[in-house]
Each structure stands twice: as C-alpha cells, then as structure tokens.
Amino acid sequence: MKFRKKILCIGAGYVGGPSMAMIAYKCPDYRVTVVDINHERIDAWNSAELPVYEPGLEEIVKKTRGKNLFFVKDIENQISENDIIFVSVNTPTKMFGTGAGMAADLQYWEKTARQILQYSQSSKIVIEKSTLPVKTALAMERILGSAKGNFTFEVLSNPEFMAEGTAISDLENPDRILIGSRETKSGLKARAELVEIYARWIPEEKIITSNIWSSELSKLVANAFLAQRVSSINSISALCEKADADVTQVAKAVGMDSRIGGKFLNAGVGFGGSCFKKDILNLVYLCNFYGLPEVASYWESVVKINEYQQERFVTNIIASMFNTLAGKKICIMGFAFKGNTGDTRESPAIYITRRLLEERAEVIISDPQALKNAALDLAAEKGSITYREDPYLAAASCHALAILTDWDLYRKLDYKKIYKTMVKPAFLFDGRNITDHKKCFAIGFNVYPTGKPPLSHFKSRQES
C-alpha cells in the first residue's frame, strides 16, 4: 500500500507510543513508525503485553499495529526513510554538573538531533514533542543546520498535554493542540503539514499556533499552573485540619467561581509523575538563568509545599499511631502516582514508603498495575516489604491502611471485610479522600482523611 505521509517518532515511551498509536488510528493512510534505543521496549510494543498501561490503548494498538503502525529497532534507516520526525525522548532533571537537580538533562535529546543529522539524506520536518526548556529549538536548528547535503530541516514545537491514565481520551479529544514554528515561508509550510495531520480528527479551532518560544514555554507553564493548583489546595488542607474545616467543601465553594474553576483542587498526598516536579524545576532554573530570582522562588515554593505535604502525611501517621511504627504492619493501597496507570515515577508512595521503613514499620504494598515498578523503585531499600496485588490479602493482619493512589477500586472495597481481618485499633489514613469516611468510622476504623478533622474512636471516648 502506498501511504500518503510517512511519520517517524523517536522515543517509544509513555508519550511516543500512545500519541503515535492515535495518529495511526485516525489516519489509516499514513504510515507511522516508532523507534527506540531500548529494544526491550520495542519488543514489548510488539507483544501482547504493552509496556505502558493506559485504558483504551491496547484496543487501538491492536487495530493499527502491523497495518500502518510499526515499532522497529532500526533507527538509522527509519530516519532516512521518513519525512516527518517527532522527537519524544525523555528529558529528565539533570543530575550532574551545572544545573544539577534543576535544569533539564538534554543529552538524550541532543543525541537524537545528531542522529537525525547523520542519517538524513533529504529535507525533513523535525517536531519537538518532548518537554524542553525555552529556546531548545534553536539548538536543534543549529545542530541540523550543519548538514552538508542539499536539503533543509524545519524545526517545530508541538508539546504534548496528555495526562497518564487518560492518555487515550486526551489524545482523541484534547483541549488544544499547540504548534510553534518560525514565521518564515518554510516554517509556515511545515506548520501547515502538521496542522493537516491533527485536522483529521481535531476541530481546527482547537489547533492553535504560535512562535516556537511561546510554544516551548507554554508547556512548562501549563504544568507549573496545574501543579500550583495542587500545592495551593494541599497547603489549605493543612490549615483545614487545624481549623476543623473540610478541604473538599472549601474546594467546592472556591471552584464554583467560574474564574477559578473546580478542576485540580483535590487535596491529597501531593503530586507525583515524571513531569510536574521536573518541569517546575526546569522553569525555576530558567528564571534564575535569566536573572529573575523572585520569579524562581515563587515557582520553587510549589515543589516545597509538595514535599511538605508528603512529610506531613507521614508525621500524621506516626503521631496518630502513638508515636511508634516499629514492627507495625502498614498496608499501602496504591503505589502508582495516580489511578489508571502503572507508572510510579516520582510517586508520593516512594517517599512515604521509605519514611515508613525508616520508622521500622513493615510495609505491605498493593496496587493493581504498579507492583512491578514499585519493586524496582524500592529494590535498594532495607526493611520488610511485601507486594500483594489483592487488597484484601494485603490488608489482612495490618495495623493501618494508607491510601496513596486514587484507584477507583479503593472506593468500592468491602471495608467491613477488611476491618475484620486487621489488628485493632485499626487505622485508615486516606491520602486521596476516596473512601466513605463516616461509613469506615462506623465500621470501627479510626479515620484520618486529608484536610478534614479525623474521625477517631479514642477522641469520642475521651469526650463522652
């Protein structure tokens, strides 16, 4: 079959895989190829067990794989064969040298730029899909600009806004698609090519264009604003606990103001995921780099509140359980950084588990999708860690439950059945406010929600 467009994506991760599967699904007359230096990942994409868990992903991969969606290992040939190249490699926080702990580590990204340069024999459109510091496209242009052949490269910025756990619906029905380009004739032509792809299934009014630097920066700012909302409500959850207010009620009242909006106001154990922290730290680094320390410290406080919230959750457990956790069994319900994903990168559960182990608690971890990753994250930890997928088995003979991920499953558990198998007095620390607190209290649990007064049987006995 002759395909109308040939698209390559370098990087077969959480973004590259699902976003390319969506393009292949919506554009059956385009050939979409995904490559990665990690050959195990490519094998997994070609197997029955995909490397990424996302509701709805398997269905669209099954419909497209081998027809117009291909996962392959041969990067060199693919670069030379394809005209449109998305770059979706990882851009983690740099852990060495200048900018360590703050700036983006661009080594994977730059290696890709050099590979594109080395293996290209014709003009190409190169699209930044990875999240990058503002002005990165300039470096890409400079590297590619050193090409010797009679061909050119046009660099576009097309940041990805999907969230894990809802990737497929976000990709199918995004709030917007942002495309940044140079305002030159060739830049606008390349932009039009990319618009044409998305216009296959996304209404044109949702496809917005800007200059490259605005596009790069918008991605960092969008994540910073989202994380800021989470830190804002989490900071208020601490105040609610002191002032006998209920953070859910406060969030509802505040969020109903249409100028504020109700989304991203769920208080909890703090934000995790591979991007919020790294992207804010990257923004902080950029602000300092451009001589704006006040702006930098404003955004840095979003990360600090997030760390405070996680530590607060642990100190609350210790204080509520009579100031000692040594030898006590604590069941961690949920290790993924959010529900509907197996991803544990920067999950608050990692920090909280480590702290519980430091206190010599025995930790039993349950999660429907993330146990493999949890075991990798905690491989170096000393202490007693058990992994059990079944939440009922995990909770049996525990002193406390700590709910750390908003899996729907945890809303529906039979807490009466769980309570019966636990050591008494039994504690429930709801780090996501997803259980029915009054009902669990009535069952017999001492319930410690987030940002609401605790429901403690000790307290009511003292008062009566």
Handedness of CA 201, 204, 208, 211 (dihedral sign): positive
Q: Binds 266, which of ligand UGA, ligand NAD, none (CB < 5 to 8 A, cut-off by type)?
A: ligand UGA
Handedness of CA 267, 273, 278, 283 (dihedral sign): negative
Q: Binds 13, which of ligand UGA, ligand NAD, none (CB < 5 to 8 A, cut-off by type)?
A: ligand NAD
Of 162 and 370, nearer to ligand UGA (C-beta) is 162
Residue 332 near residue 355 (C-beta atoms within 8 A) = no
**Shortest CA distance to 428 belongs to which of 409, 447, 442?**
447
Binding site for ligand UGA (CB under 6 A): 131, 160-164, 223, 226, 230, 264-266, 268, 271-273, 275-276, 337-338
The DSSP secondary structure of 106-132, one letter per residue, reads -HHHHHHHHHHHHH--S-EEEEE-S--
Helix (H) or strand (E) holding 86: strand 84-87
ω before 425 within 30° of 0 (cis)?
yes
The pairing of beta strand 362-366 with beta strand 385-387:
parallel
Instruction: Enumerate the active-site residues.
Output: 275
Q: Binds 435, which of ligand NAD, ligand UGA, none (CB < 5 to 8 A, cut-off by type)?
A: none
The DSSP secondary structure of 272-314, one letter per residue, reads -SSSHHHHHHHHHHHHHHTT-HHHHHHHHHHHHHHHHHHHHHH
Residue 286 near residue 280 (C-beta atoms within 8 A) = no
**Shortest CA distance to 128 belongs to which of 151, 84, 169, 159?**
159
Q: Binds 91, which of ligand NAD, ligand UGA, none (CB < 5 to 8 A, cut-off by type)?
A: ligand NAD
Position of minimal CB gap to ligand NAD: 13
What is the three-class DSSP state of 464? coil
The DSSP secondary structure of 128-197, one letter per residue, reads E-S---TTHHHHHHHHHTT--SS--EEEEE------TTSHHHHHHS-S-EEEEE-SSHHHHHHHHHHHHH
CA distances in angstroms from 70 to 40, 108, 143, listed in the order given: 15, 22, 28
How many CB atoms sit inside 10 A of residue 189's CB?
A: 12
Of 277 and 437, nearer to ligand NAD (C-beta) is 277
Rounded distance between C-alpha atoms, residue 382 and residue 225, angstroms: 37
Q: Binds 230, which of ligand UGA, ligand NAD, none (CB < 5 to 8 A, cut-off by type)?
A: ligand UGA
How far is C-alpha 48 from the geometric centre of its chain's CA atoms? 24
Q: Binds 133, which of ligand NAD, ligand UGA, none (CB < 5 to 8 A, cut-off by type)?
A: none
434, 437, 443, 445: CA torsion to nearest 10: 90
Residue 67 near residue 31 (C-beta atoms within 8 A) = no
Binding site for ligand NAD (CB under 6 A): 10-16, 35-38, 41, 75, 88-91, 108, 111-112, 130-131, 160, 162, 164, 274-275
Q: Binds 108, which of ligand NAD, ligand UGA, none (CB < 5 to 8 A, cut-off by type)?
A: ligand NAD
